[in-house]
Amino acid sequence: MKLGTAFGMSLVALAVAGGPARASPAVEKRIAVAPQVILRVIEAGQTNGRTTIVFIPGWSAGAEIWRAQIAHFDDKHRVISFDPRSQGQSTKALDGNTPEQRAADLHALLTRAHVDHPVLVGWSQAVQDLAAYVLRYGTKDVAGIVLVDAAVSDGATGMAERPKEAAVQFGLFGTYLSNQQAYLRGMFGAIISKPQPPGFIDRAVSTAMKTPPSIGMSMLISDMFTVDRRPALAKMDCPVLIIASGNSPELERQKDEAKAIRNVRFVQIDDAAHAVFIDQPDRFAAALTGFLEGLR
As a whole number of angstroms, the distance between CA 247 and CA 149 comes to: 10
Instruction: Give the residue-averaged pLDDT of 57-78.
Output: 96
At residue 3, the pLDDT reads 40
The residue type found at 258 is: A
**Rg of the Cα atoms in the chain:** 18
Per-residue pLDDT of 126-156, as tens digits, reads: 999 999 999 999 999 999 999 999 999 999 9
Spell out the domain ranges in the chain: 3-294
- pLDDT (0 to 100) of residue 25: 78
Query: Domain 3-294 maps to which CATH number in 3.40.50.1820, 3.30.360.10, 3.20.20.140, 3.40.50.720?
Result: 3.40.50.1820
pLDDT digits (tens, 9 = 90+) for 92-122: 999 999 999 999 999 999 999 999 999 999 9
Do residues 39 and 31 touch, judged by C-beta distance below 8 A?
yes
H or E element, residue 27: strand 27-34
In the prediction, which pLDDT does 77 show?
95
The DSSP bridge partners found for residue 55 are 81, 121
- Judge if pTM exceeds 0.85: yes
Phi (first) and psi of residue 228, to 5 degrees: -85, 105
Q: Return the SS3 of 56.
A: strand
Predicted confidence band at 6 (pLDDT cuts at 50, 70, 90)? very low
The predicted-structure confidence for 228-263, as pLDDT tens digits, reads as follows: 999 999 999 999 999 999 999 999 999 999 999 999
